[in-house]
Amino acid sequence: MRKGFYSGTARKISATAPADPQSLREPTKPEVTQTRTRRWRAFYKRHEKPLLVLAGAFAAVGLIALHGSFMTPPQVITQDDIDQAVTRTLETKILPSPAIKAYQAVRPSIVRVRAIGDGLEQDEYFQRAVGSGVVIINRGVILTSLHVVAGASRVRVQFEDGSESDAAIVSRQPEHDLAVLQASQIPDDLQAATLRSAKQLIEGEHVTAVGFPFGIGPSVSHGVISGLRRQYQSPDGERVLSNLIQFDAAANPGSSGGPLVNAAGEVIGIVTAILTTSEKAGFSGIGFAVPIEIAAGAAGLPPF
C-alpha cells in the first residue's frame, strides 16, 4: 500500500478569509433607536437655549391662535343702537332736576339779610325788611339789593351754617339798586360764589333763583331766561332800571338781593324786582335781575 505524500511547508491561508457572520447581519430596531436617541441628546445639549426659545415662541403663537378662535368678532355699534340705549336709559332712570346742581353749587354762599330799624320791640331790634344776598369774596363781601337795606340803622346777615353777624354797607349803586355789605364776623370755611359773565346768555336758558321769599329759605325756584336787556320801573316810579335779565323762576318779596344762577351754579345776576299787577305784591311770572358784570363792579371786582 502506497503512503500519501504531504508537503512540509505550511498551507497558505486565503487572504480573503470569510467575514464574521456576526458583522454581516443588519442592525436591529432597538439599536437604531438607541443611536438616534443618543444623537438627539447630543444635538439638544449643544442647542438647548435656542430650542427652548423656539419652543416658547411656537407655544405663544398656538395660544394666541387658540384664543382668537374662541373670541367673537367685535360688534359694530350704529347710531341707531346709541339712540335706543339712550331712550332705554331715559325711560328707566329718573334724571335729576337741573336746579339741583345749580343750588348745590351756590348754597354755601347764600345769606339771609335783615334790615333793622332804630326802635326796640320786646328787647329785640325791630325788623324792617328781610332780603337775600350772596357772598362774592370769601372775606365776607356780600352783594344784595339796595332797597333791602336802604334806611336801616343796622344790618344782620345769616350764613349757610346758621351763624349770624352784623354787616356794614360799604358801597351803594342806586342806579342799579345794588349794595355791597361787609360782614364783621364770618365762618372759617366761608365760600364765595362763582361768577359768570351774562354777556353770552340766550333766551330759553335754564336759570335758578335762590333766596328768602317772605323770609322763608333758602328757597329754590327754577325757570328760564325770558328776555334780555329789559327795563323796569317800580310802581311808585322811584326806581327805573335798565339792561336787566328777565326770568320766570318764581320770586317774591324777600327774594331781592339773591343770586340768579345758570345750570352750572354760576351767578349771572342779582334778583332786583318782580312785576306785579295787583296792589298786593306777588309773583306774576316775570322777574328781573341785574347782570353780574354791573353788580361785581359795585364791589370793585375787575370787569369780566
Residue 193 lies in a domain: yes
What does 169-191 look like in DSSP terms, one character per residue?
EEEEEGGGTEEEEEESS--TT--
Please tell me which residue in 177, 206, 221, 222 is annotated as part of the active site.
Answer: 177
User: Helix, strand, or coil here: 115?
Assistant: strand
Residue 282 lies in a domain: yes
C-alpha to C-alpha distance for 176 and 197, rounded to whole angstroms:
17
Pick the residue with more confidence: 277 or 180? 180
Pick the residue with more confidence: 114 or 63? 114
Tell whether the torsion through CA atoms of 258, 146, 247 and 219 is positive or negative: positive
Please tell me which residue in 145, 165, 226, 256 is annotated as part of the active site.
Answer: 256
Lowest mean pLDDT segment, chosen from 25-39, 202-216, 279-293: 25-39
- pLDDT for res 84: 78
Q: Mean pLDDT, the chain, as a whole number?
A: 80
DSSP state of 202: -
Residue 265 has pLDDT above 80, yes or no: yes
Sequence length of the chain is 304
Q: What percent of the chain stands above pLDDT 70?
A: 70
Query: Active site includes 206?
Result: no
Residue 247 lies in a domain: yes
How many domains does the chain contain in total? 1
C-alpha to C-alpha distance for 139 and 135, rounded to whole angstroms:
9
Residue 29 lies in a domain: no
User: What is the rounded radius of gyration, in angstroms, for the C-alpha atoms of the chain?
Assistant: 48
DSSP state of 39: H
- pLDDT for res 33: 66
Judge whether 256 and 272 are in contact, CB under 8 Å.
Answer: yes
Question: Half-sphere exposure of 53 toward its Cβ, with a 13 Å CA cutoff?
Answer: 4
Residue 192 lies in a domain: yes
Q: List the grid coordinates of 34.
A: 438607541
Residue 227 lies in a domain: yes
- Average pLDDT over every residue of 103-117: 93
Residue 74 lies in a domain: no
Residue 8 has pLDDT above 60, yes or no: no
Q: Which of 276, 261, 285 is nearest to 143 (CA)?
A: 261
End-to-end CA distance of the chain: 158
Please give the residue range of the domain that contains residue 219: 103-298
Q: How far is CA 140 from CA 8, 20, 98, 101, 143, in A?
A: 148, 121, 28, 24, 10
Q: What percent of the chain stands above pLDDT 90?
A: 43
Query: Active site includes 177?
Result: yes
Please tell me which residue in 109, 132, 145, 147 is annotated as part of the active site.
Answer: 147
Residue 127 has pLDDT above 70, yes or no: no
Q: List the grid coordinates of 227.
A: 328776555
Q: In CATH, what number is assigned to the domain containing residue 136? A: 2.40.10.120
Residue 47 lies in a domain: no
- pLDDT for res 7: 45
